[in-house]
Structure 1
Amino acid sequence: MRSILEESMLETRNMPLENRPRLPRIPLSKRNRAVVRALNPMLVTYLEASRDLCETDSILLGAALAVCRIIGAKLPVAGRATQKSSAIPAWRKRIEDRIAKARALIGRLTSFRSGNNRPRIMRTVRMAFAGTNISLSQPDITQKLTERIDDLKQKIAAWGKRIRRFSERSRWFNQNRLFQSDQKRLYKSLERPEVCGAGPGPDQADTVAFWRGLWSEPVNHSEGPWMEVVASQNASVTPMDPVAITPEDVAEAVRRAPNW
């Protein structure tokens, strides 16, 4: 066990991040726990002699690699690129495959309705009406073809709406989760490049004059009689002392806020 540990630590020492193997998640069985407990005391000597954080990280990586080799976990082959999962979810791929097959079937049914009687077209049309009592030689076959094509078009529209509905729900879910973890990144993703930062900024004097015209002009509000009743009822209430906000209060309030 010690020889495997030393070999793994020698292999991972000063290894660049891009060349490090992706270790699998091992199950927490009794045997695996026993291996980890046996290796932990061996790491004390190496960790005490560690000179910096990078060396400590390589020691821990070597120990994890040694555990995987001892328990026989499957490791990625060196030099082989890690297979990345597709960005398109499986449910969307399945629905898009159905839409593609339905569109291909609509094309062949339309071609048959236009008079194309090639063997491949005929075979597809027979498969489209398999399990029904519809024969290609009956007189109202054109009407049956039209009904079948309309049915496929309605299915395609329903599948497209399902994709849009699921995508919208997934987008809302990801935005809510991103709002809880990184609000700055969320707001940056919501910016529209064609609007934000396009063209010169507004003139400072015009901006000040606009807002000063809104807030500095006196306005006569229509006050109803009920406001006088409420004021008389609350006349005995002691007004709150003015709140003095100091720079220390602001620093304490934003201390745990995200760094924007």
Structure 2
Amino acid sequence: MDGKDQTMDESSYRKNKGPSMKAYNTKKLREKTSEVNEIMRLIHTTSITETNNLACARARLEVELMGIQAPTPSSQPTQQKPKQQLPWKRLLEKQIMVMRSDLSKLKEMAKKRIRSKKTREALNEKYKVQEKGLNNTIEDIKMRIKAKVRKIQQCMNRNKGYQQNKLFRTNQKRLYSQLRGEDNHQEIPEAEPSKRLLESIWNNPVSHNKHAIWLQEVKAEEMGRIEKRFTEITTDTV
């Protein structure tokens, strides 16, 4: 396949993009570019789409003539990198994990299941167990964990609200689509079980006890009430 046929073949693919050359020899590139220009003069285009495809094919051809391997489009979808966790959130979650581990050790200490003297001394030095008392220390750590968890939730809600307010000012359509997407995650119950449940309730007549004690009590309470008559308010009344 000569240069002209190769260029025509490349120009038939609209999605092919010309790869960029990060390192090249200027003299060699000038020579190859002049060769490609001679070939391009022999190709005529009739639309802007063909011209665009031809420009992409020209870049690809120059790269191949320079001996640089052009990237090939991958058939597999690219995997998105997981979002990095916020530093402050990662720090708080690490602290919570450590405190939960210490809390379980203190509970085991209360049941006298920890035999390691080194562990008991470390916990006593860290939380002043002998001064506060073991039960008070356990309750104190529980409250600390709850406070840190609540702090994470409040910060995340505040951050989410800030992002939504910013998106409302810049792109309301995207904001509403995100809100609808969050609502769509709710599970929709199946129609057939719901239909059977409602049919079992409404299609089966049930007779209730008309002489129940609570009905008599309600009637006795209502006997002393005086019915309030309707009073029409007019302009003269006001």
User: In which range does the TM-score fall when normalised by the shorter chain?
Assistant: 0.3 to 0.5
Q: TM-score, normalised by structure 2?
A: 0.44
Q: Is the radius of gyration larger for structure 1 or structure 2?
A: 2
> TM-score w.r.t. structure 1 length?
0.41
